[in-house]
Amino acid sequence: MKPNYKTAYLRDIAGMALVLALCAGTSRSEPMGEPHLQIVPRDASEAAKVAAVVAISTDFSQPERFEHRPAGLATLMDAPSRKSFSMPQPNLNEDQGLDFVLGQSLFEKLWVTPPSATVSSDGLGPLYNARACSICHIGNGRGRPPLDDTDRLGALFLRVSVPDEASSLAPDLLDKMSNAPEPTYGLQLQDKSVAGLPAEGRLAVRYSPVAVTLADGTIVELQNPEYALQNPGYGDLHPQAQFSPRIAPQMIGLGLLEAIPEADILAHADPDDQDGDGISGRANLVWSKEYDQWMLGRFGLKAGASTVRAQSMAAANGDIGLSNSLFPAASGDCTAQQTACLNAPDGNTAAQGGVEASDPVMDLMTFYSQTLAVPARRDVDDPEVLKGKSAFYQAGCPACHVPKFVTHRLADRAEHSFQLIWPYTDMLLHDMGEGLADNRPEWRANGREWRTPPLWGIGLTQTVSGHSRFLHDGRARTLLEAILWHGGEATAAQQAVIAMPKSQRDALIAFLESL
């Protein structure tokens, strides 16, 4: 087993000096912080106890204490079902339970084309990807790519941009944007539109086989995706256009991830690999429109959003075309080249605060997203699962998929306060190699880097979503395929899995399916 799993966490639980050091020397060097949280600071005694609780386990003969409750008191203890990712945290009070139901109704609401008699429901488009959040986040689980050209249930979408140097926007403006928009198509390809406007096009995918031979002779055939833009509605893309195909990620436990102390995340960062373990996790820094400052990126496939609210409001605008207080353009992602889109009717009304999705609407949708419960682990004491857990650790997977954290004590969010959670992520960016590279940066993330995705709930993907597609674009059809696509910093772990005998490899998959 690798002896070092980011012991910097134990050396510097406070972490603020590390926060500033990580920011220093970059173009985005302003201090970060957590202005969205009302934090009750830990004293030295409590910090020491937390450090002991989250220390990496070395005993695989039995489950760890509370391991069956990956979200602490926020864990859903019901039997697995298709609704396992759609239930509220069980530790919500009665008023919060009502807010959850209201937020769910808004999350599932079908928005309509403006103008409409239902002013609280119009504002769709003019260009958009879906009429409701739940269309891409089916059951709040993972989306999947289309299976063929006739499949309209796939939830694959395309982020687009150009390099900063190819943009006509001013450098000071670009510095506070995730990317430079593609001049005609903006930051995202919208494949649907309101009547009278052409959609921006459709993303098609074809797969070619890539065979990987494991040490025991087993041959696993991976699918290498090739993407093409069909029927572009507004002309050719910029010759330097950058693309990032993506599927919708699962949504459970977001409020708990938001409540992980920033310092605890940054204590796992090692951008220069000073400990020599080959893992160089980096923090993404994003400009917060909410708080007018640089903040740690936590959400999205490249950690491009700092809070659940910011992520929700960006998605409402980019995916559905809804203006809101953070993204007030009623035309959504339309560009200056799309004049008909800019001139289309909108749903901005005084009743909604001059936008299409008012702050109360977005607050309820945010609360719903923050409080979706994490299901309980299954079979934590099964000998096969424990054997697989040992294999997971021996392969070095916890270097990025950090098993556990303790959330902040929060004065205003008891439902997320001081919980021992097991998300299996460090929330940092890692170079995943050329095979997974999209070659499109996002804030500080480069074209080979992705945020470590949380693994909690991954074993219920088939139960909830009816498929088993993984990775950022859904190319992997099994968990083993997903592991074999790992490269870059994860090459050593990938090679360890390739070298495993079948019995150990099967146990590893059993462990992952128990999460």
Is position 149 within any domain?
yes
Instruction: Specify the pLDDT at position 117.
Output: 79
Instruction: Specify the pLDDT at position 341.
Output: 96
Domain that holds residue 193: 117-128+144-249+298-367
CA-wise closest residue to 88 among 380, 429, 368, 402: 368
Average pLDDT value for residue range 34-55: 96
Last residue of a domain, one of 344, 367, 390: 367
Is position 152 within any domain?
yes
Pair 499, 459 in one domain:
yes
Task: Give every CB contact of residue 54 below 8 A, 6+ residues apart in sequence.
Answer: 9, 403, 404, 405, 406, 420
Pair 381, 362 in one domain:
no
Three-class DSSP category at 293: strand
Average pLDDT value for residue range 295-307: 98
Is position 440 within any domain?
no
HEC sequence for 53-73: HCCCCCCCCCCCCCCCCCCHH
pTM for this model (two decimals): 0.93
Pair 323, 193 in one domain:
yes
Tokens of 141: 């689980």
Last residue of a domain, one of 367, 385, 413: 367
Q: Is the pLDDT of residue 29 over 90?
A: no
Pair 231, 348 in one domain:
yes
Is position 287 within any domain?
no
Pair 51, 169 in one domain:
no
**What percentage of the chain has pLDDT greater than the value 70?**
93
Is residue 412 within 8 A of residue 418, CB to CB? The reply is: no
Is position 292 within any domain?
no
Pair 410, 491 in one domain:
yes
Average pLDDT value for residue range 333-341: 96
Is position 101 within any domain?
no
- DSSP symbol at 479: H
pLDDT in tens, 396-448: 999 999 999 999 999 999 999 999 999 999 999 999 999 999 999 999 999 99
Pair 269, 402 in one domain:
yes
Pair 56, 67 in one domain:
yes
Is position 444 within any domain?
no
Q: Mean pLDDT in the chain?
A: 92
Is position 186 within any domain?
yes
Pair 263, 411 in one domain:
yes
- DSSP symbol at 310: H
Tokens of 294: 């640089």
Q: What's phi and psi for 64, nearest 5 deg?
A: -75, 160
Instruction: Specify the pLDDT at position 153.
Output: 60
CA-wise closest residue to 303 among 422, 430, 174: 430
Tokens of 60: 């695989």
pLDDT in tens, 453-502: 999 999 999 999 999 999 999 999 999 999 999 999 999 999 999 999 99
CA-wise closest residue to 269 among 309, 242, 296: 296
Tokens of 14: 């406070």
Q: What's phi and psi for 414, nearest 5 deg?
A: -60, -30
**For residue 153, how many other CB atoms are within 10 A of its CB?**
12
Is residue 403 within 8 A of residue 380, CB to CB? The reply is: no
Pair 389, 464 in one domain:
yes
Q: Is the peptide bond prior to 126 cis by the omega test (within 30 degrees of 0)?
A: yes
User: Rounded distance, CA 5 to CA 195, Å?
Assistant: 55
Average pLDDT value for residue range 233-256: 97
- DSSP symbol at 350: G
Tell me the sheet residues that pair with 206.
226
Residue identified by tokens 């909108």 is 346
Q: Which amino acid is at 252?
A: I
If one counts the domains in the chain, the total is 2
Average pLDDT value for residue range 289-314: 97
Instruction: Specify the pLDDT at position 23.
Output: 38
Pair 271, 419 in one domain:
yes
Average pLDDT value for residue range 186-195: 96
Strand 405-406 to strand 202-213: parallel, antiparallel, or no bridges (unpaired)? unpaired
Tokens of 152: 């309209």
User: Rounded distance, CA 506 to CA 388, Å?
Assistant: 8
Instruction: Specify the pLDDT at position 324.
Output: 97
Task: Give every CB contact of residue 27 below 8 A, 6+ residues apart in sequence.
Answer: 175
pLDDT in tens, 67-115: 999 999 999 999 999 999 999 999 999 999 999 999 999 999 999 999 8
Pair 83, 224 in one domain:
no
Last residue of a domain, one of 367, 396, 413: 367
Window from 16-20, 228-232, 296-300, 445-449 with minimum mean pLDDT: 16-20
